[in-house]
């Protein structure tokens, strides 16, 4: 059975994916991405969307914003965020 993700969460997923594309060299945007994904994770769990929540948790495990440096795992996190696209529709 397909998970029914609330529209507001879908909109935030869209925002997070877009944000990550711009965040790889910007620490403040990287932190915002991480905060947004944490919020999305909590809301997905509250909605019972555990499969999508597991994917978001996987992203958060890889995402570790560091001040003054480029993201070491940006391409890996980008690949993981692409897998979220099926939940946006």
Q: pLDDT tens, position by position, for the chain (89 residues)? A: 578 899 999 999 889 888 887 766 677 888 888 899 999 999 999 999 999 999 999 999 988 766 665 666 777 777 787 777 777 66
Return d(Cα 76, Cα 89) in angstroms, integer: 23
The reported pLDDT for the residue numbered 4 is 87
Return d(Cα 38, Cα 56) in angstroms, integer: 8
* pTM, to two decimals: 0.81
């Amino acid at each position: 059975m397909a998970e029914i993700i609330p529209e507001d969460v879908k909109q935030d997923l869209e925002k997070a994916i877009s944000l990550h594309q711009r965040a790889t060299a910007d620490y403040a945007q990287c932190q915002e991405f991480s905060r947004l994904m944490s919020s999305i994770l909590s809301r997905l769990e509250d909605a019972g969307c555990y499969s999508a929540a597991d994917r978001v948790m996987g992203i958060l495990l890889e995402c570790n914003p560091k001040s003054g440096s480029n993201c070491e795992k940006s391409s890996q996190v980008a690949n993981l965020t692409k897998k979220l696209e099926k939940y946006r529709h």
